[in-house]
Amino acid sequence: MTNLTEQQNEDNQEFLIGDAVVLTSGCKNFISNDLFEIQAKSTDALWTIKSSNHVLLVTNIEIRTATVAELNAKRRLTDAEMALGEVS
């Protein structure tokens, strides 16, 4: 089951330089709740992203656009936190 944010990202996987993104469950090799910024487009499916702690090369399926709640929190929200936000 994918949540709405992940579903929206599957429909529109084009990001712009400077977009705020977070890692998804598709990112199997690295776990971080950091808020990342798109730094560069390496190929059609590879992006360079940067947080205050990390610089990563990721594919489209490993990132999604950050939600407003995540921008306010300055980090990726857990599934439980996202569910609470959708209810309230």
Query: How does pLDDT run along the chain (88 residues), one tens digit per residue?
Result: 455 555 554 545 689 999 999 999 899 999 999 999 999 999 988 999 999 999 999 999 999 999 999 999 999 998 888 888 665 5
Q: Which two tokens stand for residue 71?
A: 């921008």
Domain of 29?
Answer: 4-87
How far apart CA 86 and CA 5 sit, in angstroms, is 11
CATH code, domain with 66: 2.30.30.140
Q: What SS3 state is found at 58? A: strand
How far apart CA 25 and CA 10 sit, in angstroms, is 13
Q: What is the pLDDT of residue 84?
A: 82
Runs of H (alpha helix) within 1-88: 4-11, 68-73, 79-87
Does the pTM surpass 0.75? The reply is yes
Query: Number of folded domains in the chain?
Result: 1
